[in-house]
Structure 1
């Protein structure tokens, strides 16, 4: 079967590999439909290995080379012994986080903070950019009948975005700022607007600005042209926004977040910073600003996100800019996404 395999920075190869030979108890064999290229994957391609282990992973022994893909939808092909939550032929979304179940954090239900956490498509034998994969049945969830296979591949990034908004204590009627309109920022805007929040989005990339305009759910601000702080102060009677979801990982955006949020408000760091950023801690104290980070999402969130997309009709598919064949994953996928002049926002790779 074909699979996209990461060997190192700038070295991803589409190769023929052996199909999974057996499905163990509590496992399922899947046929992936679509798999998203995540920002984590792009960082691995540009500078890795970072998360992908170059020595055996302590949870499962996984090591380079790695079949990529952790944002995927699939069809169930085969059930291992004891599997009852899905059946052959079901369309599913895969929750990719793997945890030990016994460490301090797992015992508290915070499995996404597991001290030995692994991830399908990053630190696991299998990944979603392949013609088949074998994963634990506990990690697959049946899609709502109204959901497309494409929407199923967007459950994972939607869960990331929703967790950021939830950590900001966003409620109906709140006014929020989202900095950065990449896939996570755009999905955060969709989720927050669905909650009943008034949403502002700060973004300077023309293609991502166009996406927010097309969604029609937020007021768009360009930080190179607009007085972002001034606009937000005017919109809130001089108070500031209730929450900022910082999705860019940019120092300037973080500094804007501090100036934009109201006293007693929330700043959620969802975008990953790759270098130190300068902030003024005294301002957090004087104004009782809560600054919190997010890492992935609660592993129990999958059914809720599927229901939101399926029953509430969250238009998550609109963040997809391209759907490509596996053979084009480098030229039309990773190279476009790492390019500062690239036109892509969210690229999905076909697994069949």
Structure 2
């Protein structure tokens, strides 16, 4: 049995002591703030941490609205987790205790959580260092006994990365979505001088714009039908060209603004929408790259004649390689990727459902990234 599975079956008497407050998913539209046992003391290769900030992700919103989706209905093949789940996979905190063999962090260290959990060997992809592609992949906050929307979390040593003094606790909770954005730009081959379209001006779209700029892109475009989201994008990056696809053609705007009228070098789809993907294909130049980052809820048609005729690369971008954490932390801590610009609201765990989940689902789009402050 894996260390992770052993952790899940420990007796409550081995917990760190007492109970903790947690936001748990029970069913669609059924999130509850509950008192649950604190996690066990860390075993070999484990880290016990007190959480400080956690972000509400689009995946969390989907679980709340339509779930369970990623939350297992039957025991997860690797972790055994299923059913009622503490949510939250974008988080950070302070190490409270470490188990035997843990040497890269110590009590008192501030850390950011890399939430992917998987076999470390004996899996085709893990054996090749491609941990994020493991067939038995699980995530803290979705298919694990701990999550960020609680006062404490028990994780594997490879799930925590120390952050530098110049990085805030809030920024520690933004490393996860920022890593998604950095990987999307890497998959697109964004380089110095590039022109980049991002479709979807939500948190991932906004972070992708920042990541593209950090990679050297000098022409940035973003499309979204929500004017409030476009306004957020202009606040975050004043130089970005915003496009409302319900009012103008995304492809026409970009061709008119790019060298030779050919379109952008890279188009990154960050919303999981059929029309947004088609806009990417239309707007990208011949031999350009389209990156699919948003998760589509169902199969979507695409003009494959144009894919061939334009000689483009169409690439998926799933999560991030786990080794991106130090690099993404450096980008944020240095100011090269000012991730905190996407934060629009801070709330407490007690108000997370109404002031967080419901607020983010408001069609008006008046919020972008909401963080839950677990220190209050």
TM-score computed with the length of structure 2 as normaliser:
0.91
Q: 2:181 aligns with which of 151, 161, 179?
A: 161
Q: 1:180 aligns with which of 191, 197, 200?
A: 200
The answer to whether the 8 A contact 1:86-1:142 is kept is yes
Shift of 1:224: 2.1
Q: 1:193 aligns with which of 209, 213, 222?
A: 213
Q: Which residue does the alignment assign to 2:65?
A: 46
Q: Which residue does the alignment assign to 1:204?
A: 225
- 1:147 aligned onto 2:147: no
CA distance in 2, matches of 1:184, 1:290: 21
SS of the equivalent of 1:72 reads: strand
* 205-214 or 263-272: bigger deviation: 205-214
The answer to whether the 8 A contact 1:204-1:223 is kept is yes
- 1:130 aligned onto 2:150: yes
The answer to whether the 8 A contact 1:73-1:92 is kept is yes
The answer to whether the 8 A contact 2:47-2:98 is kept is yes
SS of the equivalent of 2:333 reads: helix
Cα deviation digits, residues 146-176 of structure 1 (max 9, x gap) = 1111111000000001111110111101111
Cα deviation digits, residues 273-305 of structure 1 (max 9, x gap) = 112222111111122111111111001100000
With a CA cutoff of 8 Å and minimum separation of 6, indicate the structure with the bigger relative contact order: 1
Q: How does 1:191-340 map to 2 (within 5 A)?
A: 191-197=211-217, 198-215=219-236, 216-236=238-258, 237-340=260-363
- 1:85 aligned onto 2:104: yes
SS of the equivalent of 1:321 reads: strand
| Structural RMSD (CA) | 1.2
The answer to whether the 8 A contact 1:189-1:217 is kept is no
SS of the equivalent of 1:282 reads: helix
- 1:13 aligned onto 2:32: yes
The answer to whether the 8 A contact 2:49-2:96 is kept is yes
CA distance in 1, matches of 2:365, 2:251: 29
How many residues align structurally?
352
SS of the equivalent of 1:324 reads: strand
Cα deviation digits, residues 242-283 of structure 1 (max 9, x gap) = 010011211111111111111111000111111222211111
SS of the equivalent of 1:104 reads: coil
SS of the equivalent of 1:262 reads: strand
The answer to whether the 8 A contact 2:40-2:154 is kept is no
Q: Which residue does the alignment assign to 1:32?
A: 51
Cα deviation digits, residues 212-255 of structure 1 (max 9, x gap) = 11122412122222332222112222111101001121111111
Shift of 1:205: 1.4
SS of the equivalent of 1:157 reads: helix
The answer to whether the 8 A contact 1:129-1:350 is kept is no
* 99-108 or 260-269: bigger deviation: 99-108
Cα deviation digits, residues 319-345 of structure 1 (max 9, x gap) = 111111101111111112223234221
Shift of 1:313: 4.0
SS of the equivalent of 1:213 reads: helix
Kindly tell me: are residues 191 and 342 of structure 1, through their superposed partners in 2, closer, same or farther at Cα, counting changes over 3 Å? Answer: closer
CA distance in 1, matches of 2:265, 2:300: 22
SS of the equivalent of 1:17 reads: strand
The answer to whether the 8 A contact 1:128-1:351 is kept is no
Structure 2 residue runs of 5 or longer lacking an equivalent are: 1-19
Q: Which residue does the alignment assign to 1:345?
A: 368
CA distance in 2, matches of 1:282, 1:229: 17
